A and B are shown apart, each in its own frame.
Chain A
Amino acid sequence: MSAGTVAAPGRVEQPTAPRRGPSLVGGRGGIWFVLPFMAVYAAFVLWPLLYGLGMSFFDTSLVRAESRFVGLDNYVRLFADAEVWRTLGITVLFTIGSTIPLVVIALVMALLVQTGVRGQWLWRFVYFAPFLLPVATVVLIWQWLFSGDYGLLNAALTGIGLPEVGWLTDPAVGLWSVVLLTVWWTIGFNFLLYLAALQAIPAQLYEAAEIDGAGGWRRLFGITLPLLNRTTGLVVVLQVLASLKLFDQAYILFRANGGPGGSATPILQYIYDTGFTDYRLGYASAISYVFFVLIILIALVQARLSRRSEA
C-alpha cells in the first residue's frame, strides 16, 4: 500500500533510518480498538467453528433434542460414503473446468483493453458488469437462455445448423452449463486484477523495448507476460479456492435437485442437503471439516509453491 498522498511534515529530517516499531509515547489502549471486532469474530466465526467440530463427534439431529457421542463414527462413515467422493469429484471437475477459461479469457480481455483502444470505460463496463449481479438474477437470466423450447442458445445453435443441446436436462452437459454461467458472471473480477497488474508495469520498460525496435508480439512475450507471472499465480489460486466453494448457482439453477441425474451436485450442496434436508447435523459437520481441511491443504501447497518461486 502506498501512502504517497501523505505530505511529509515540514521539518528537517534527521539523517537516521526511518524508525519502526514502538514509538516513545502512546500505543496505549490498543485492546479497546481490537476488542469489538474480536468479540463479533469470536461469537460468529470462532465459536461456530468449534461448535461444529464438536457436533461432528455426535449424531446431532435437528429433529431430536438429545444426541449421543459417537466418536469418530461420522468420519469413518464419510470415507466410505460414495456420495461424498462423487460430489467431491464433481466439485474438482468444476474447479478445473471453470478456472482455465476464467484465467485465460480474463487475461485476453485485459491485454486487449490495455492496448489503449478507445472507449476504455465501455469495455470495462461490459466485461465487469455481470460480476455485480446477484446470483439469483444471473441464474434466472441463464435459465431462460438455456431453456429447451424458447432458449436463445438452442435457437442460435439451430440457426447455424447445429443440433440442440439439453443444457439443463442432459447429464453430460449440466455441469458445463454451470461452468458457462459462472465464466460469464465472474470473469470481471479476474479481468480487473489483470488490468491492475498491467497498469502497474512501468512505461519505461516498454520505451526501452521500443528503442531496441521490439514489435508488439515481442513486447507481449518478452515483457508483459513474464511480468504477469505472479499475478497469474494469484488469480489461479483465488479462482481455485472460489470455484471449490461452488454452491449458489448450481443449487438455484437446478432448483435444488442437483442437476440432471445428480450430475451437478457440488460437495457443499451435499453438506447442505445432509444438514438441512435430512437434519443430520453431526454428519454434515463432519463432511464440512473434511472439506475445510482440503481447502487448507490447497492453500498450504500454494504458499509452499509461491515461496519456492521467490527463492
Chain B
Amino acid sequence: MTTAPDTANPATAPVLPRARSRAAEPTDIRRYTPLARAGIITALAVLAVLWLAPLFWAVVTSLKQEADTTVVPLEVVPDRGFTLQAYASVLANGNLVTWFVNSTVVTVVITVLTVALSAAAAYGFSRTRFRGRNVLFALTIAGIMVPPQILIVPLYRQMLAMGLADTYAGIILPQLVLPAMVFILKKFFDGIPRELEEAARVDGAGQLRIFLQIVLPLSRSILAAVSIFVFIHAWNNFLWPFIITSDPGLMTLPVGLVQVQSAFGVRYAQVMASAILAGLPLIVVFMLFQRQIIRGVATTGLGGT
C-alpha cells in the first residue's frame, strides 16, 4: 500500500462533503434508454452474485451440522435443517474470544498512537520551522517506499534482543509507523488558512494549544479518514503478529485463525463459523460508517499511499 507520493493529483473532491459539490452525484439513471438500463442492472447483478457467492456459501456451511457439510451433490438447505451448533462449539472453545480481545486491544492502541504521532509530526512539518526540518521530512517521505516485509528479519532479532517477543509491546511498536499518513495529514494542514492560528498567537496562545484547540478540530474529517485506514490496516495485519507471537494466548484474530486450519481439520462448519466470526466485526463497523470509510479509502488511496 505504498507508492511514491503523488503530490499533484486530481482527487481532492472526495474529502468535500457530498452536499456541497454538485459533481459528487452519480449521473441520473433516467437518462439511459430502458434497454441500457436493463443491461446496466444485469451486469451489476451478475457481479454482485459472483462477489456474494463465497460469503453466502460460507454462511450456509457454518449453519449446517458437520455431517451435512460433505453431502454430495452439494445442497443449500440440508435435510436436517440449520443449526447454530458450529458457532456454539467455536465460542465454547474459548480461543476465538481471547484472540478477539487481543485484536481489539492491539488495534485500538495502534490506531490511537499512530494517528497521534502522525498528526503531531505532520503539524510540525507543516507549520513550524527548525533546523533539519526538510531533511527529516524527506526522510519520512522516503519511508513510504519501504516494504514492511523486508524489515521482518532484522526486526525479529531486534525484538528478541529487547525481550519483547510474545508481548503486546512487541506486536504494537513496529506497527506505529505509517509515513504515508504523515504525508496525507501534512497536505491537509498545509491547506488550512494561517489567519486563525496567527490571531490565536497574537492572543498569546502557545504552539501546542493552537494545534490542539484550533487545528485538530478543523481536521476532523481527515483525522477520521486516517483513523479508519489505520484501523483496517492494523486489524487485518497478519505477517508481523504471526512472526512475533508463538503463545496462543497473545495471538490476534488473523494469526489465531491460521491455527484453526489445522485444529479443526475437516470440521468445515466450525472452520467457516470461525472465519465468519473473525470477519464480522469490521463488516458491522462498515455498515455503521460506510460513508466515512469510503471517503477514508478514497482520501488515503489518492493521497499517495
Contact = CB atoms under 8 A, between A and B. Distances in A.
B9 A31 contact: no
A268 B197 CA distance: 47
Interface in A95-152: 105, 108-109, 112-118, 120-121, 123-130, 132-137, 140-145, 149-150, 152
A65 B7 CA distance: 46
Interface in B125-184: 125, 127-130, 133, 136, 139-140, 143, 145-147, 149-158, 173-174, 176-177, 179, 182, 184
Interface residues of B, number: 141
Nearest to A210: B31
B53 interface: yes
Nearest to B118: A37
Given A135-B236, A140-B274, A30 B154 contact: no
A31 B261 contact: no
B146 A248 contact: no
Contacts of A171: none
Contacts of A30: 124, 127-130, 133, 207
Interface in A6-53: 6, 8-9, 18-19, 22-34, 36-38, 40-41, 43-49, 51-52
Interface in B192-224: 192-199, 201-202, 206-208, 210-211, 218, 221-222
B260 interface: yes
Given A31-B130, A116-B26, A133 B51 contact: no
B60 to A, nearest CB: 10
Contacts of B193: 3, 6, 8-9, 18
Contacts of B72: 149-150
Nearest to B181: A37
Contact of A141 (B36, B41, B58, B120): B58
Nearest to A52: B154
Given A36-B120, A37-B121, A140-B257, 16 more contacts: A2-B15, A33-B207, A62-B157, A116-B27, A116-B28, A117-B37, A128-B286, A136-B257, A144-B57, A195-B294, A197-B10, A197-B302, A241-B3, A285-B154, A292-B146, A303-B4
Interface of A: 1-6, 8-9, 18-19, 22-34, 36-38, 40-41, 43-49, 51-52, 55, 62, 105, 108-109, 112-118, 120-121, 123-130, 132-137, 140-145, 149-150, 152, 155, 184, 189, 192-193, 195-203, 206, 216, 230-231, 234, 237-238, 241-242, 245, 247-248, 252, 255, 268, 271-272, 275-276, 281, 284-285, 288-289, 291-292, 295-296, 299-300, 302-303, 306, 310
